[in-house]
Amino acid sequence: MILVTGGAGFIGANFVLDWLRASDEPVLNLDALTYAGNLENLAALQGDGRHVFVHGDICDRALIDRLFAEHRPRAVVHFAAESHVDRSIHGPGDFVRTNVEGTFTLLEAARGYWSTLEGEEKAAFRFLHVSTDEVYGSLGPNDPPFAETKAFEPNSPYSASKAASDHHVRAWHHTYGLPVLTTNCSNNYGPYQFPEKLIPLMIANALAGKALPVYGDGRNVRDWLYVGDHCAAIREVLARGRLGETYNVGGWNEKPNLEIVHTVCALLDELRPDAAGPHARLITYVADRPGHDRRYAIDARKIERELGWRPAETFETGIRKTIAWYLANQDWVAHVQSGSYREWVERNYGERRA
Ligand code: NAD
Ligand code: TYD
């Protein structure tokens, strides 16, 4: 079996669902169920013996040692993290704890387990660390996209904590020989994304007739990748990636935020028209995010050259699927918009009023 951490979150849940659609290899899913973790994401697996869920923390060394000993996973796919830049600005401590200390704890436990293996079992073991393009910092308008050789220049508490975790993963390979792989991916979107991130927030607010808060001038650029394509890239790297290497994963799809918001509005106008007028009337410029990175772009040629991976979705097909999913899953959205979600919205947006 494989051990997945953070498999009740957005990308982790998509990964687990896709994995078990394509294979019968069981998944041991370790997740602390923070505000971002949600067992409803995995409802389709209820009663499925191939999915073993453990409610626990990646900082809990004794628990992880026990899981390795009992389940003897052949690989770790490590998603668990605090993942939202705005939350990292308000409370960086949780990011250092989970992203740095948690990754360290997992590396140490994996190293302890791997050192007990022999022969083929030892040679086949993998530790795949899922990371972000944000570790590379911010690009100017004419800079080349991030290659794997680009120096790390993280600018937010989130990206600094992920960069630190990437460095630990690298060091555990060079120093101890742990068979690691790292992926650095651009912004994902798709089903089950928590409505604090740009695309699901805009969909949820537009459907509720609420303001669509665009930070700064709306011209910050991100590269967007459909989550299913990210999961496919991770499966390729796990199966055939070269040990100790990092692979950048992206959609060849750079867009300014304002264009993303207008696309969401236009699709909602088509699929769920609002009698009050076009959804774009709700766009509201609000105070910028402190330290807001201007542009991210990914050079994804290495993973294509070595592993033959390319995104299957275009932005047009992926965003249409995503909006259709949110329209069909309004209950899911309502359930995650709990009291603590409303507190977060007030905390993040209350102080930014246009
Ligand atoms: P998410 O916030 O939706 O999910 C994170 C999951 O980790 C949740 O289920 C949460 O309960 C769990 N978790 C948090 N702290 C934990 C702890 N201490 N122990 C165990 N579980 C814990 O995040 P996501 O968007 O699915 O991102 C997953 C990974 O992919 C992260 O490592 C993130 O840095 C990386 N990534 C995300 C994106 C993106 O656009 N979302 C892009 C590139 C890379
Ligand atoms: P986000 O989804 O938080 O991802 P990241 O910051 O990790 O790239 O934000 C994507 C972009 O959208 C980023 O430039 C910030 C911007 N943004 C807004 O303009 N308004 C919002 O309410 C949010 C959440 C993000």
Letter string b/e over residues 292-315, b meaning 16 or more CB atoms within 10 A of that residue's CB? ebebbbbbbebbeeebebebebeb
Cα-to-centroid distance, 271 and ligand 1 (Å): 30
Q: What is the pLDDT of residue 351?
A: 84
| pLDDT tens track for 217-238 | 999 999 999 999 999 999 999 9
> Does residue 336 belong to any structural domain of this protein?
no
CATH of the domain at 62: 3.40.50.720
In a domain, 268, yes or no: no
| Residue type at 166 in one-letter notation | D
The CA 272 to ligand 1 mean position distance, Å, reads: 30
Q: Quick one: which of 169, 62, 167, 54 has its CA closest to 107? A: 169
**Of residues 113, 136, 158, 189, which has the active-site annotation?**
158
Confirm whether 278 is domain-assigned.
no
In the numeric block, which tokens belong to residue 337? 């918009």
pLDDT values of the chain reduced to their tens digit, one per residue, 354 residues:
999 999 999 999 999 999 999 999 999 999 999 999 999 999 999 999 999 999 999 999 999 999 999 999 999 999 999 999 999 999 999 999 999 999 999 999 999 999 999 999 999 999 999 999 999 999 999 999 999 999 999 999 999 999 999 999 999 999 999 999 999 999 999 999 999 999 999 999 999 999 999 999 999 999 999 999 999 999 999 999 999 999 999 999 999 999 999 999 999 999 999 999 999 999 999 999 999 999 999 999 999 999 999 999 999 999 999 999 999 999 999 999 988 999 999 999 998 876
Q: Ligand 2 mean position to 94 CA, how many Å?
A: 20
Length of the chain in terms of residues written: 354
CA distance 100 to 63: 18
How far, in Å, CA of 243 to CA of 128, rounded?
Answer: 10
Q: Residues lining ligand 1, CB < 6 A? A: 5-6, 8-12, 31-34, 36-37, 57-59, 79-83, 98, 102, 130-132, 162, 185, 187-188, 194
Label residues 2-21 b or e (16+ Cβ within 10 Å = b): bbbbbbbbbbbbbbbbbbbe
| Domain-embedded: residue 239 | yes
Whether 324 is covered by a domain: the verdict is no
If one counts the domains in the chain, the total is: 1
Domain assignment present for 338: no
Residue-wise pLDDT tens digits, 254-300: 999 999 999 999 999 999 999 999 999 999 999 999 999 999 999 99
Whether residue 304 lies in the annotated active site? no
Give the mutation target among 42, 64, 83 for probing the ligand 1 site: most ligand atoms within 8 A of CB.
83
Is 306 contained in some domain?
Answer: yes
Let me know if residue 281 belongs to a domain: no
Tokens describing residue 287: 């105070």
For residues 270 and 160, what is the distance between their CA atoms, to the nearest angstrom? Answer: 40
Residue 184 is part of which domain span?
2-194+225-253+294-312
Task: Classify each residue of 230-267 as buried b or exposed e, where b means 16 or more C-beta atoms within 10 Å of its C-beta.
Answer: bbbbbbbbbeebeebbbbbbbbbbbbebbebbbbbbeb
